[in-house]
Chain A
Amino acid sequence: MDAMTSPLRENAAPPTPPLLAVEGVTLEYHAPGRVVRATQNVSFDVWEADRFILLGASGCGKSTLLKAVGGFIPPREGRILLDGQPIHGPGPDRVVVFQEFDQLPPWKTVRENVAFPLRVSGRLSRKEADERADHYIEKVGLTRFADAYPNTLSGGMKQRVAIARALAMEPRVLLMDEPFAALDALTRRKMQEELLALWEEVRFTLLFVTHSIEEALVVGNRIALLSPHPGRMRAEINSHEWDLKSGGSPQFQAAASRIHRLLFEEAEATDGAGDE
């Protein structure tokens, strides 16, 4: 636990404005015949090198929120600021790692997949892009598979490629939308370990969506809890003291059940009243 040098800012006010500020964001999307409100008046701040988690049951709009930060969905109300500037549409400064394996173009090898966005965003020459791709492919441990096509890789390896691709872009914020949810439990655990090791090394800023309380506690240093239908902020709690080794401890269990209570008990009560 003490090995983790997470930013501890409980006493001191942060010296700089937040890297990412989500201010009173209401999101809506069109379902056939009606407008569905995904989130309502959600605000939170993400600071440099945060591992910020959006946690909630399905239907709390956490993925929609992440896509809004990615620029894929414009907010109905409120605004999203990156470095103090409102965001306009998707861009390479906010790279998303999705849950689905088909996020990797199947017609590109692992190396091409990582180098391709560097090339098309016009930032690097071919040689530089390949070099940087190889560097990050090595970081996720896929050097042996650099020339393989995605269809020959396992699910965990595909997610590693997606992470390498995102890191190679060196984005301001790395957005992850339940990236390990489609993996088996053993692989998921390993990927969480690797992600934390990468964070130790690179110190990227992470906004991470999950529906697993354990994953939230282990991966994040701060957790935002969202209540469903529509997504509203329930709480923000610190989790910098937990890591993969604290799994079974009583304090960890206590934190997990506190989150569980915040997410479900009162939500059930209000849901019951609301449904009539």
Chain B
Amino acid sequence: MSEALRNRLEPETRPEPPVRPEYERPLEPLADATSDQALPLHQRLWQRAWLRKTLILICLALLWEITARLKANPLLLPPFSAAIKALVEDALSGVIPARTLNSLDVLIKGYAAGVVLAFVLTSVAVSTQIGRDLLSTLTSMLNPLPPIALLPLALLWFGLGQASLVFVLIHSVLWPLALNMYTGFTGVPETLRMAGRNYGLRGLRYVLLILVPAALPSIIAGLRIGWAFAWRTLIAAELVFGASSGRGGLGWYIFQNRNELYTDRVFAGLIMVILFGLLVENVLFRELEKRTVAKWGMTR
């Protein structure tokens, strides 16, 4: 090491770059073959996320089928094929669609109300100090409270009807969404805020035209989380008292079939719950992101 250093410092051994002749020349014409060469088919297919995910699903279904056949106890674990058969049967007979619609009806009401309330609360929070304090106190208190824990109270207040389900759903959507929205709003770059105010934008117009689109990545994340919470809460709440509201949803369908030991139908109900979750997550929200924040380069 010190040998090398000494060599570098001694004038005779110090390396000198050689002086080379200069040149100038006209630019090469552009090569016309652009890199548009197609990848091989299997590589192109492998780049499709949905294809890879479908492959995973097929593997899981196969694993299930094999395990169930080895166990050979359809009461505890019916094979995948039996669950699918039950699903198709009940879907065709109209039971599952009716149950799903019931669930959806409640879900949309609760979700929409939760989103509106979250927006109002966050708008107040970004514009006033007391609103900020209110939001942070309420979210830190209520966000960790499982929505199902409020169900007994809701039943007491609103009776055995849709209203208590909607109440619980609002609770499950409102806090995580408000928290995400608020984080998104506070993360809007100062320069962009000043540019917006420079246009003369104030109040609600400022929130709607500058803050909301600028915070959209966080808002979509909040909508996603809120959606997942709401769906879970709804199914769980229906399991507890689903049919008492007169028109049961998917949770009630699962509960009812378990009571009658139709385990394949229980699985059919679960598959429906999962399918619906996947659909909203991978189609609705993915599409929303693709058309907005991904197109604008706000997320990868």
> Which residues of A come within 8 Å of B, CB atoms?
67, 70, 72, 89-92, 94-96, 98, 100, 102-107, 116-117, 120-121, 149-152
Contacts and interface: CB of A to CB of B under 8 A. Distances in A.
Interface string B225-253: 00000000000000000000000000000
B136 interface: no
B197 A72 contact: yes
A98 B194 contact: yes
A152 B189 CA distance: 19
A114 B157 CA distance: 53
Contact of B192 (A70, A94, A103, A116): A103
Contacts of A121: 199-200
B23 interface: no
Contact of B194 (A70, A92, A152): A70
A161 to B, nearest CB: 12
A105 B210 contact: yes
21 contacts: A70-B198, A72-B197, A90-B197, A90-B200, A91-B198, A92-B198, A94-B198, A96-B194, A96-B198, A98-B195, A102-B189, A103-B191, A105-B192, A105-B214, A106-B214, A107-B292, A116-B199, A120-B201, A149-B295, A150-B297, A151-B297
Contacts of B195: 96, 98, 103-105
Contacts of B201: 120
A106 B245 CA distance: 47
A92 B213 contact: no
B296 to A, nearest CB: 4
A159 to B, nearest CB: 12
Contacts of B216: 107
B210 A92 contact: no
Most A Cβ at <10 Å: residue of B195, B201, B216, B298: B195
A100 B298 CA distance: 16
Of all A-B residue pairs in the complex, the 3 with the closest CB atoms, nearest first, are: A151-B297, A117-B199, A100-B191
A100 B201 CA distance: 20
Contact of B189 (A89, A92, A95, A100): A100
B189 A106 contact: no
Interface in B98-150: none
Given A96-B194, A100-B189, A106 B200 contact: no
A96 B190 CA distance: 13
A188 to B, nearest CB: 19
A104 B200 CA distance: 16
B85 interface: no
Nearest to A151: B297
A102 B191 contact: yes
Contacts of B280: none
Interface string B187-221: 00101101101111100010001100110100000
Nearest to A106: B296
B185 to A, nearest CB: 15
Contacts of B189: 100, 102
A255 B259 CA distance: 93
Most A Cβ at <10 Å: residue of B189, B191, B205, B214: B191
